Each structure stands twice: as structure tokens, then as C-alpha cells.
Structure 1
Amino acid sequence: MGHDPVRFGIIGCAGIARKLCRAIALAPNATLHALASRSIEKARSFAAANGLSGAVKLYGSYGDVLDDPLVDAVYLPLPTSLRVAWAVSAARKGKHVLLEKPTAVDAAELDRILEACEASGVQFMDGTMWLHHPRTEKMMEIVSDPGRFGELNSINSMSMFTPSGDFFENNIRVKPDLDSLGALGDLGWYCISAFLWAACYKLPSAVSALPDVTRNSAGVILSCSAVLYWGSAHETAATFHCSFLAHVSMDFAIIGSNGSLHLKDFTIPIEEGSASFEFTPGAKFADLHIGWNVKPERVLVPTELPQEALMIREFASLVQGIRNSGCSPERKWPEISRKTQLVLDAVKKSIDGGCILVHL
């Protein structure tokens, strides 16, 4: 364990919290100090099932974590509808906030969270893990190289999986009072974040949902698609499809004027210790169109830690800088979250309006 690690409190025992418990244990500058559920029995059950140390404080109330003076930062995997209240409370208590995605029901709620974080001088970050993998940095080296990649032309992404068990009856992601954004919030967030990353976080000029929306009987989105446009004449376009109703797919393709980049696992790498992508530079058809003149280059990027542990390490490093050295919070992360939420809101507005074109 690193010197003076950041002490995390986890509020809520959702399934994703299991992954973050492991990530905190792996990160060299973090430690899990406290865990809370809605009852002490649930907290104890979660701790036992996940082999948590007896040194971890267990609470039967979310508020107890915020009242613990030793907690530096909180991770909030609560349902989307509950995040604004607890994230604001955490910030006002001086706790740094790592918030699951989607960050809020809409940008207005997220603004309340960000305003509370800024007022208290605490760090905010959302839980988009793939942004912290070294593969992402390696891809940006290529995408930002005008000689190798050229001008950005188009982007395409899919984020899908077929749930098992009683997901469609009991999971919070299909309950309108808990996670009303459904597949758009859970999976579409990844696609939108990837598009913004590829566009260097320039907001699109307009978005339009496509007329293939599937909802459950409660009105929650189970599957949808949308197109994002950049430029007054829609010179660049990005298309995504997200769904709870299809075989697992995490495809991402970025097409430039001089090359193209593809990967099949952009949100969760197929292997934990390394991840790859294909880059195809200057491809043309061979004579008679019987092949290509080049083969895709496979770029393999190893990683010393899983991407979720790298996220914890980055977040904890920022918290240490604020806590120990008087640094200011890193503004990049809340800005990324807010732009992602704004685009997600526009897609939702297009869907609710019958696939109208929504300008940003």
C-alpha cells in the first residue's frame, strides 16, 4: 500500500461495487475504509461474499459513510435517480466523488452535483473506465496524427449484451423510478463518450435518434440508435446502437481520410492484462478489386493494472494532490462528464420527440 493512501467509502452494494472493491485493493494509493448498504445485514453479507478485510467499516446507513471523518472519497454505484442527492451530500461533507455512469437523469441534475463539488473544492470523476486504459492513449496518438490518420470522417459504435436471469423483471436498469434512461444511459453513455473522445470533446452540432427504439411495458428504453453530426453541413457523423437485446458487442470504428482504426472491446477488454486494436493506414483496393493493398496493423497495448484500478489510481492521485499539496481539482473530468450528459440528453429528447433533429 502506498504512503498515506486515499480512504474510500462505498455507498451502495450494487453488482458493480464488487469490481470497484477489487480495483481499490489493486490500486497502490487507495484503500477501502468503509462500506454502506441500506441495512447492516446487507453490508455484512456483501463484505463476506467479497472477502473484505475485517478492518473495513460496515454501515447500515449511507449517511454514516459521509459522517465518517476518515473517509476521503466516496464511490457511488446507486441507481441514477438517487445519485444527485447523495453526490451533493457527499460533496458538502468534503468527500471527493467518484460517480457511476450515467451521472444523472439529466444535465440539470448533474450541474447540481458539479456545483456542489466546485463549492467544496472536491474532485469529481465518473466511472467510465475505458478512458483510463493505456490503449486509449495509444489510439489517440494515431487519431491525432494528421499524417497517419488524416481528418476525422466518421465514427461508429455498438454497445450491447443479452442479460441473463430475471434482468427484465428485477434489474434497476429497467425500472423507470430507478434508472429511467435504460440502455441509453447504461450502454449509450459509452458510445457517446467514445465519440466525444474521438472528436477531442467538441460537441456535435445536432443529434437525431433513429426509429428503431424498443421500450419495455414501463417505457424504459431497451434498445435504440442515434446519429451525431458535427459541422454546419454535417461533415462528420457518428452512429451508435445500444441494446439489452443482442449478443455482446463493444465495437468501435474511427474513420479518417488517411486511415481507419477498429476495436471490438472498447468498454471491457477481452483480456485483462493487455488490449489491442487494428489500424489500417492508406488502404486501397488491389487491381481488379480482388483484395486490399495493405493489411491492418494489430497494435497490442499491455497494462500493469486493470482499467478500473487505473481509474482508481488516477482519481486517488488527484485527491492526494488536493489533500496533501493544496492542488485544485482537475477540471477535465467534470467537463467530460457534462458534455457526455448533454449529448445523452439530446438523444433522449430526440427519441421522446419521435426522432426529431435536436440541435446543441
Structure 2
Amino acid sequence: MMRGPRQDDDSVIENPLKLGLIQANPLAIGLLHASRNTRKLKITAAAECDRALLERSCEPEELKGVKWYESYNAILRDPDATTRVDSVFIGGTTSTRSQWAVAAAQHHKHVLIGCPAAADYESTVVMRDACVAEDVALQDVVPFSHHTRTEEILSTIAESRGGGKESTAKDDPLGCLGDLGWACARMGKLAYGVLNPVSAQVIHSEATAENVPVDVTAVVYFGENSTKPCHMHCSYVHPLQQSFKVIGDNKILRSRRLGVPAPAGTAPIRSKASRRATKGGPPWWTWGSAS
């Protein structure tokens, strides 16, 4: 049972949704930061056991309207109509989220839950059924799935294939793998230096009737025990592209178009962190911290 965000403009919100925090974690801290920018939501409740974490991570103004309860159960059971919450965010771990989601639903609270929502499918069904029974919303913290911009992105991705590059067995038997894929493999070799490739795994491939590869997704492993992966995708179909990712000990090297020009009228979607990291560098690569 999923519900999207309120569509009302901030200026017309008279009774914002009051949210309590159960098992606060970094996502809860992010919600506190974000709640300062809207009148649709107010975080008004948290438990004393999470107080040190929240005070250490938030500005005093962000916690100004928070009432501190002795326990999570006390948040759910507050009988005072002026202070009790309409909804709760449940952080914690996958082993405990289900039980708190059910308890919150039984106290008629909408449930916003961390991800993954539960450790297994059965626990997720239990949460869903509890929320349906009490007619409250259950929503996971994956904000892009509830954003109108996502619909535009999905519509673009769903466009039918077209164009591409012809490749025949006689003239180019290795197809995209020998052309675009060769450059990806060479970059992996450059990145890993003296290490040699030890294995390769083809995750997906498409070929012509003559068995010429036209779309290949693969991982080439370098080094002892295959500890250095080079992820690569090369394609002659829509869209014509070539990308790779090399994972080092401390950094990740990514390229989206090492030897292929960007299609007309398109622009890459990049994060602020990526733009900062690539300032002054070549246009075809980005650095990011290894996770």
C-alpha cells in the first residue's frame, strides 16, 4: 500500500504531518535536515535512547520542536491529541523493522520505513497486511520512486531501439566486443598495471544472425583471487554506447563514453559530488570514493 507525497503547495498546509522517530539512524538525521525546507512535515517525537545521536548530528534548531519520550512504545501510545504523531519513521535493522511497523500500524500511524524494509518477503507481507487492516500508509525510503521527474526518466528509457551500427561476420566478427569492448579492456589493463586478467564473466549479450556481438555486458577480473574487477558494457544498438568501471582499493574510475560521442540532444545526469570531483579533469572520466 503505497501513497505518494502530498500535492498541496507548502503555503496552504495548515496541519502538517507529525512524524516520530523509532530507532533513529542516518536516514532519520537526513529527514530532520530535510524537514526544515517544508511545511508539510514536522518531526515532533523521538526517544531518549536516540537523543545523544540526534543532538550530535543535528543543529539545535532542527530539534527545537521534538518531544523526547522514555521509549518507542511511549511515542506510539501518547494519548494527547496535541502532541501525538500521525506517522513514524522506523530505522534500526531489518531484524526489528517488521515488529515496529506492525506495532505502529496497530496504533493507527502511517509507516515510513528504512531500506531494505525487512530481511525477507514474508516479513514485508506481514507489515503490508497490518497497514492495510488499519488503513494507514506503508512507504519505504526510496524517494526517487515517488518523484515526478522519475516518470520522465522512465519514459525516455522506454523509447524503442533505433539506429546503431552495422557489423558483419566477414568484416568485423568481434562486433562491439572487438571495437568498443577492446578499449574498455585496455583501460582496465592500464588501471591495474602489472596485474593480468584471470577470468571474465558475460552477464548479458546480444548477437546478429551471424553470431556477431552487438551488445555485451561483462566483468573482467584481474589479479590473484580475482579481486580487481573491471565492469564493462559496449553496444551497437540503441543507444550506441560504451562504458566501464574499474574498482581500485580507494577510488572508482568510471567512463560513460570513452570512444563514443554523446547522442545529439542528450546530457548526462551527474551528481554534485561527481561534478566537483571531475573539475579540471578529462571530460570522459569521473572519480568517486570506493564503497
CA RMSD of aligned residues (A): 4.4
Percent same amino acid at aligned positions?
25
2:113 maps to a residue whose letter is L
Instruction: Please state how far the C-alpha of 1:29 moved relative to its aligned partner.
Output: 0.9
Q: Secondary structure at the match of 1:298?
A: coil
Q: 1:8 aligns to what?
A: 19
Q: 1:258 aligns to what?
A: 238
Aligned pair partner of 2:40 in 20, 24, 29: 29
Rg comparison, structure with higher value: 2
> Is 1:58 equivalent to 2:68 in the alignment?
yes
Partners of 1:62 and 1:132 lie apart in 2 by 28
Q: 2:30 aligns to what?
A: 19
Query: Cα deviation per residue 1:166-203 (whole Å; 9 max; x = unaligned)?
Result: xxxxxxxxxxxxxxxxxxxxxxxxxxxxxxxxxxxxxx
Instruction: Please state how far the C-alpha of 1:27 moved relative to its aligned partner.
Output: 3.1
Q: 2:54 aligns to what?
A: 46
Matches within 5 A, 1:1-360: 2-37=13-48, 39=49, 42-43=50-51, 46-47=54-55, 49-50=57-58, 51=60, 52-69=62-79, 70-133=84-147, 135-146=149-160, 257-259=237-239, 292=260, 295=263, 297-299=266-268
Q: Secondary structure at the match of 1:65?
A: helix
Query: Cα deviation per residue 1:235-277 (whole Å; 9 max; x = unaligned)?
Result: x99989xxxxx99xxx99898952268999xxxxxxxxxxxxx
Query: Cα deviation per residue 1:283-319 (whole Å; 9 max; x = unaligned)?
Result: xxxxxxxx647647215599xxxxxxxxxxxxxxxxx
Partners of 1:13 and 1:102 lie apart in 2 by 15
Q: Matched residue pairs, number? A: 190
Partners of 1:81 and 1:116 lie apart in 2 by 17
Structure 2: which 5+ residue stretches go unaligned? Answer: 1-9, 165-198, 205-214, 220-226, 245-255, 272-291
Structure 1: which 5+ residue stretches go unaligned? Answer: 151-211, 213-224, 229-235, 241-245, 265-277, 281-290, 303-360
2:100 maps to a residue whose letter is W
2:118 maps to a residue whose letter is A
Q: TM-score, normalised by structure 1?
A: 0.43
Partners of 1:79 and 1:25 lie apart in 2 by 26
Q: TM-score, normalised by structure 2?
A: 0.52
Q: 1:353 aligns to what?
A: none
Partners of 2:39 and 2:20 lie apart in 1 by 16
Q: Secondary structure at the match of 2:65?
A: coil
Partners of 2:158 and 2:136 lie apart in 1 by 31
Q: 2:247 aligns to what?
A: none
Q: Secondary structure at the match of 2:54?
A: helix
Q: Which runs of 4+ in 1 moved over 6 A?
A: 225-228, 236-240, 251-256, 260-264
Partners of 1:31 and 1:117 lie apart in 2 by 22
Partners of 2:202 and 2:87 lie apart in 1 by 35
